[in-house]
Structure 1
Amino acid sequence: MNDRTINIRNIQHFLYCPRRYALLELNSDWAENAFVVKADILHQHVHDGSHSFSDSKKIVRSNIAIYNDLPQYDLYGMTDCVEFVRSSQGVSIPGCSGKYAVRLVEYKPKAPKDGGFRETDAIQVFAQKVCADFVWHCSSEAYLYYADTKKRVRLPFDSEYAAYDSLLQRLLQDMRTLLEQKQIPPRKKGQKCSGCSLTDLCFPKEKPYCVRDLILSQKGVEQE
């Protein structure tokens, strides 16, 4: 791992707002709100071991480290859930007898209203797929599981691989360029900040100008 290696989880931060991503990576800023806590609780539940089991059809494991160190990617991260489904057409998995198809499942708290999936969620899972395929020499399936609807959505990476791959590589290059510049970019025009946990750090509220306070400060009087 080097300074150019990107953590998969940071892709969504960058997509939401490059300024947020820079604050996290360059300033090491962090703050939580209800949205962050809700997502953390969901992922803690997924990663607590209760989702890991084996039966005659598959082996299910959570919180597996994956990576892809090819120059065009140089990624790493953790999976929510990986299902190794027994298949004669599958691949060998170290430590397991037989062959398996690899299935990635990423958990998200809330589904979009149209019943489909968010592209920002999909590109994060595609980055996981690129790493999983590299580690296990496979072509993994990928799903999003939305907790509020309790439904899985299969992602169209088989038919749209080239488009997602091009987008991912472009995003990674943009993320690295931002880090190399070592400057916090301005907020994007039209950026919605109401759900961001870093709002107060990003744009701290200034105390209103007050002539009385200015005079007292010049006299050396401490203000409450």
Structure 2
Amino acid sequence: MNNNTINIRAIQHYMYCPRRFALLEVNDDWAENSFVVKANIQHQHVHDGSHSYSDSRKIVRSNIVVYNDEPVYDIFGITDCIEFIRSSEGVELSDQDGRFQVHIIEYKPKAPKEHGFNETDAIQVFAQKVCADSIWNCDSEAYIYYSDIRKRVKLPFDTEYDKYDLMLKNLLSEMRKVLEEKRIPSRKKGQKCSGCSMSDVCFPKEKKYCVRDIVMSQKGADIL
């Protein structure tokens, strides 16, 4: 990896708010709230090894590092879960007998109310697919498992590959521009910040202007 290599998890930060992305990646700022902690706990459970097993039908592995070092992508990340399903129409794996279809499973805590999946979640998983397809020379299927509804949703990469591929490439180009310029973008118009763990870091609260405090400080007095 080089200085331009992007961690897949950073893509969602950028899509949610470029300013948040820059604070994390350029300034190395970080803050947590209840939403972040809940998501971290879920992913710790997914990555603890208990989701890894094998049977006669499939091999399931969690916490797999994937990457794609083609210059147009140059990304890496850690998958929640990959299922290798035995199939005569699948691909060969270097350390296994037989052929397998590759399924990527991403775990998310809460499903959207109005759509089958969040677009920000989908592009994250598409980036994982780009990596998996490169590593195993396959055309992997991708799913999001939403814990609150206990449902697995298939992502439409088989019919909308070009759409997501263009979206990913554009996002990566924009992100690299921010990183190269080392700048913190302004907040987007209409950006919702109430649920963001970085809101206090992004816009620290300033003490209100007070003439009394200024006068007293000039006199060298303690301000109570």
TM-score range, shorter chain: over 0.9
Tell me, in whole angstroms, the C-alpha distance in 2 between the residues paired with 1:61 and 1:4: 28
Partner of 2:69: 69
AA at the equivalent of 2:168: L
5+ residue gaps in structure 2? none
5 Å-filtered alignment, 1:181-220, equals 181-220=181-220
Deviates further, 22-31 or 89-98? 89-98
Deviation at 1:69, TM superposition (A): 0.3
Tell me, in whole angstroms, the C-alpha distance in 1 between the residues paired with 2:142 and 2:97: 23
AA at the equivalent of 1:78: I
Q: Secondary structure at the match of 2:104?
A: strand
Tell me, in whole angstroms, the C-alpha distance in 1 between the residues paired with 2:7 and 2:17: 16
- CA-to-partner distance for each residue in 1:46-74, whole Å, 9 max, x for gaps? 00111111000000000000000001100
Partner of 2:81: 81
> Is 1:154 paired with 2:157?
no
Deviation at 1:115, TM superposition (A): 5.1
Tell me, in whole angstroms, the C-alpha distance in 1 between the residues paired with 2:179 and 2:81: 30
5 Å-filtered alignment, 1:77-156, equals 77-114=77-114, 116-156=116-156
Deviation at 1:213, TM superposition (A): 1.1
Q: Secondary structure at the match of 2:158?
A: helix
Q: Secondary structure at the match of 1:106?
A: strand
- CA-to-partner distance for each residue in 1:66-122, whole Å, 9 max, x for gaps? 000001100000000000000111111232221110000000000011350111100
Q: Secondary structure at the match of 1:103?
A: strand
Structure 1 vs Structure 2 CA RMSD: 0.9
Q: Which runs of 4+ in 1 moved over 4 A?
A: none
Sequence identity percentage: 68
Partner of 1:52: 52
AA at the equivalent of 1:133: D
Partner of 2:35: 35
- CA-to-partner distance for each residue in 1:170-217, whole Å, 9 max, x for gaps? 000000011111110100000000110000000000001111111121
Deviation at 1:220, TM superposition (A): 2.1
Change (3 A) 1:17 1:115: closer
Deviates further, 175-184 or 12-21? 175-184
AA at the equivalent of 1:107: Y
Aligned residue pair count? 224
Partner of 1:21: 21
Tell me, in whole angstroms, the C-alpha distance in 1 between the residues paired with 2:222 and 2:144: 55
AA at the equivalent of 2:78: M
Partner of 2:222: 222
AA at the equivalent of 1:113: K
Tell me, in whole angstroms, the C-alpha distance in 2 between the residues paired with 1:13 and 1:216: 44
Tell me, in whole angstroms, the C-alpha distance in 2 between the residues paired with 1:92 and 1:33: 43
Tell me, in whole angstroms, the C-alpha distance in 1 between the residues paired with 2:45 and 2:180: 36
Report the TM-score, using the length of structure 2 for normalisation.
0.98
Q: Secondary structure at the match of 2:60?
A: strand
Q: Secondary structure at the match of 1:101?
A: strand
- CA-to-partner distance for each residue in 1:129-183, whole Å, 9 max, x for gaps? 0000011111100000000000000000001001110110000000001111111
AA at the equivalent of 1:29: D
Q: Secondary structure at the match of 1:20?
A: helix
